Amino acid sequence: MEPALWAAKTGLDAQQTQMTVTANNLANVSTTGFKASRGIFEDLLYQNVAQVGANTSQTTQSPSGLQLGTGVRVVATETENTQGSLNQTGNSLDLAIQGRGYFQILMPSGTLAYTRDGSFQVTNTGQLVTAQGYQVQPAITIPAGAQSVTIGTDGTVSVQLANQSNPTTVGTLQLADFINPAGLQSQGGNLLTESASSGTATTGTPGISGLGTLVQLLKRARRAASAEELGFVMVNETHALLPYRQAALWQRNAHAAGKVVAISGAAVTERNAPFTLWLNPAFAKLDDETGKGGIRRVDAASVGSGSPGSGNSGGALGEAWSEWLPAHGLLVPLQVEAEPALGALLLAREQPWSDGDIHLMSELADGYAHAWLRFRGRHRRSLAAVLFGRGALVKLAIAAALVGILCLPVTLSALAPASVKSTPLSPPALSPRHQIFAPWPKMPCCSLLH
């Protein structure tokens, strides 16, 4: 076959393979936990018609030679283990992994498989299983009569039983990780198995090893381009670390006054909305106790019986708590050392907050406070930056020169009333000697009569 046609054929074959990989990625766009793949290409052997560096004479050598390629091929497909987006489903058994790691699944053959798909269900015996009925490892059993199930960021599974005030821990989920996740063997059904390329699995507590949720949220906070974007991260994306049902961010201004600047699930905070009108005095009441212990649990009794503000028909603050928030709240003051308090983040949910939740939130709150301080400091120093910032003297000099020019006096003249009088003109005289036009007679064509 003609070499050029053969090289073109290999290119068509390689692109056909790439199209197959891309089509599979598109087909699984709605598959939970699916990781896209990409083709890796490499060129084929070359025909050395003229060797590089071969002697072209006794004193010269060929600088590049002559090599003819024979085509291309797809040598591998690599899984792109990038972080996917998180969706709020409202199902307490739907889990997502933020960072590295895989759920462990016990197969009917007794071997372990691994998945990023956290759409779990419960059997008639209370076993936590996948959609195919495969048991999650370590085994978790939900007791009959459980009113709610809560799975913490550290994998702790707790249930709320009837006639019990405190939740009961029924097990702990663990994640598996590999030194080369791209080397896992796909088995279909959202399942992967260990291979020689992936290495052996290493199990551990979620959030302890790898990047984890905490680091991811801190990165998002540092990269926020505005105070509004940072507020959105605080009230919405913190849910990936600590599950909650409602969150609000309160900004503390001068003289201890403040206002609510962000609410979870709301793109814009309406300052005259009933919920906002209740939150402002509630935060003000909680702010009186902010410096007495840092992060703390709060509830209806914490806000006392103060007035909820005009326009709110909810009654006393404490009595109206249940109308707006779940029973258990967590107040997170945002403050940097040697700086005034910036505000506070309030998280609320139906389940009580554990000591582990508070410890985890304390690490995140410090990062949030430093990120928020950037925007608060920028606002306070904006005038000084304009007056004394980089290149300010040149700008001030140019501005002063423009003002000086505008202030220079300008002489104005007024025209008196006038009339126009025409004067007849003589035709130009022709000089017989040179046959040229003589100059026009010097006479006014018009005059102004005052």
Q: How many of the other CB atoms lie within 10 Å of CB of 348?
A: 22
Residues 195 and 335 in one domain: no
Q: How many of the other CB atoms lie within 10 Å of CB of 98?
A: 22
Chain mean position to CA 39? 28
Residues 74 and 144 in one domain: no
Mean pLDDT of 65-82: 87
Could you report the per-residue pLDDT of 300-312, keeping only the tens digit for each? 888 775 544 444 4
On whether residue 27 sits in a domain, the answer given is yes
Residues 227 and 352 in one domain: yes
Q: Give the helix, strand, coil percentages of the chain, each rounded to 5.
A: 30, 25, 45
The pLDDT assigned to 109 comes to 92
Residues 196 and 277 in one domain: no
On whether residue 195 sits in a domain, the answer given is yes
Q: 287: domain CATH number?
A: 3.30.450.40
Mean pLDDT of 86-104: 81
The pLDDT assigned to 431 comes to 43
pLDDT at 369 over 50: yes
Model confidence, pTM: 0.46
Could you report the per-residue pLDDT of 318-354, keeping only the tens digit for each? 888 888 999 999 999 988 876 777 889 999 999 888 8
How many domains are contained in the chain? 3
- Quote the longest CA-to-CA distance of the chain: 134
The pLDDT assigned to 406 comes to 65
Could you report the per-residue pLDDT of 245-302, keeping only the tens digit for each? 999 999 987 655 688 999 998 888 888 899 999 898 888 888 765 445 588 899 888 8
The pLDDT assigned to 378 comes to 47
Structural domain boundaries enclosing 306: 212-382
Residues 241 and 294 in one domain: yes
On whether residue 84 sits in a domain, the answer given is no
pLDDT at 196 over 80: yes
Residues 220 and 172 in one domain: no
Locus of tokens 């890796």: 40
